[in-house]
Structure formats: C-alpha cells, structure tokens
Amino acid sequence: MPTKSQGPQIDFTTDSLRLFYNMYREYIVPSIIMVFCLLLFFFFLLPQFNEYLAMQKEADATRVRIDGIKKNITFLQNLDVGQTDSDFQTVSVALPSEKDFVGVLEAVSKSSTNSQVSVGDFSFLVGDLSTKSAQLSDRPTLSLSLNVNGSIDSIKEFIKQLSLASPIAEVSTLSINQGSAAMNVAFYYKVIPKQLSVEYDAPLPSPSSTQRKLIDSLSLWQTSTQTASSASFVSF
C-alpha cells in the first residue's frame, strides 16, 4: 500500500502525454525543426565546409607541386645529358658505391709513381660489407696499411698525390722513420640506399661552381690515371 510521504510522482500515462502535447503543440514542431537545423549544421554543414577548406589547401599544394615539376621538366630539357653522365661517372669513381679494391690499388700505384716512392708491404683491413654498420655509416672506409720507401720529400709528395686520388683517400696515421714511412690510409666509399625515392617536384640539384671545380680536378686526375695505370703497376 503506497504511503503519502513519498512526494509527488510524475505519471507518464498516455493521457498525460496527450495533455502535454495539446498544451505545447505550437512549440513542439518549431523546436524539432530548430534541433534538426542544429544537427544539420554541426554534423553535415560544418564537416562539408571543412572538407572544402581542405580541398582548397590541397589545391594550393598541388599548384606548388605542378610549378616544381614544370621547372624540373624545363631544367631536364636543357640539361646536357652527356656532361651529366660523365660527371656522374667521375664522382662515382671518386666515391664508389662499394669497396673498390682495383681503384685503391690504382690510386696507390699512381701516387707512388708520381712521387718516386716504392711501395713495400701493404694489407687491406676489409671488414664486412654486409654488416648494417657499413651500410648505415655515412662515410664507410676501406683501410689500407702500407709501407713506403723514399726520401721525406717523396713521402710528402706521396701523401699529396693520395689526397688528389680517386677513390677519395685520407691518411689516418703516419709513422716516419729514416727513408721510410708506415701509414694507414682510409679510402672512402658510399653505399647507395636500396630504395631511392624520386620526388619529381623537388628542386633538382646542379653542381655549384666550387663543386664543378672539384669534379674537374677529380676528372683530371682520373684521366691521367687511365693513361698511366698500366705502366705504374711496375713499381709494386
């Protein structure tokens, strides 16, 4: 049996709902329309407008890419392909994509011939090309340990000649004794990444004047090496 102390109770019977509808009939339909409008605004119109803004942004980015591609096409059409191939060949010999044993021997041979030193014992510190460190390293090297015999001036000239040689080399340690020197020479190479991403719209690089001079000097050394390489092996 219900007690009187439970307070007022809301009775949602059909009659009360009908009474509520009859009382507020004029407000209900406009209210539903306004709620519908708000829902349309937030869940349809606003996303559509944001999509339009994104399209405008994408259109601007596409225009920039198109400009870049057009410039690159013009650049490529005016490019001297023969010269580029030749430069690429020169640079690839100077900084090969892998350990270039023949190139290293030619460089040592040519340098020793030009500097009038005789090359004694030498040994390669090869390492493992397949290791990740070799592939990930920015400037991996092939180290060569060698002894040369000659006057101090000849040894200095040998180091100078090595600095001009291809593959690019650097004397890492040098020990000078009377009439001879022992040295470790690092010959650089650069591993080409397996996957190269080609961005057609990115500005294409062309050698600066300093880089052009460097390519020319590398080319000069390589040209003289090719002509003298066969004879210079005698000094070994």
Partner 1 sequence: MTEINLINKGDTSLLRKRKTVKIFQTSSVAGLLIIAGLSILVFFLKLSSPLSSLRAQEADLVTQISKYSDTIVELQLMSQKISAISAITNGRTDYSKAVAVVTGATIPGASLGLSEISNKEVSINSSIISKTGVDLNASSKSLLSVNSFLDDLTQLAGKKIFKKVILNNLNAQPGLYTFSVSINF
Angle subtended by helix axes 152-164 and 101-115, to nearest 10: 140
Shorter beta-carbon distance to partner 1: residue 45 or 231: 45
Asked if 180 touches partner 1 (CB under 8 A), the answer is: no
With CB under 8 A, what is the number of residues at the site for partner 1? 72
Contact status, residue 114 vs residue 162, Cβ threshold 8 Å? no
Show contacts with partner 1 in window 151-170 (CB under 8 A): 152, 155-156, 159, 163, 168, 170
Residue 218: count other Cβ atoms within 10 Å of its Cβ: 20
Beta bridge partners of 183: 146, 174
Q: How far is the CB of 216 from partner 1 (least distance, A)?
A: 12
Q: What is the dihedral of CA 137, 138, 142, 148, to 10 degrees?
A: -140
For residue 127, what are the contacts with CB-CB under 8 A and spacing of at least 6?
A: 134, 142
Binding mask 58-87 toward partner 1 (x if CB under 8 A, else -) reads xx--xx-xx--xx-xx--x--x-x--xx-x
Show contacts with partner 1 in window 110-149 (CB under 8 A): 138-139
Q: How far is the CB of 51 from partner 1 (least distance, A)?
A: 7
Q: Which one of residues 17, 19, 34, 220 is an interface residue with partner 1 (CB under 8 A)?
A: 34
Asked if 234 touches partner 1 (CB under 8 A), the answer is: no
Shorter beta-carbon distance to partner 1: residue 35 or 231: 35
Q: How far is the CB of 124 from partner 1 (least distance, A)?
A: 19
**HEC states along 130-182?**
CCHHHHHCCCCEEEEEEEEECCHHHHHHHHHHHHHCCCCEEEEEEEEECCEEE
Interface segment toward partner 1; rule CB under 8 A; list 8-16, 101-109, 129-137, 197-205:
197-205
Q: Which one of residues 17, 18, 20, 55 is an interface residue with partner 1 (CB under 8 A)?
A: 55
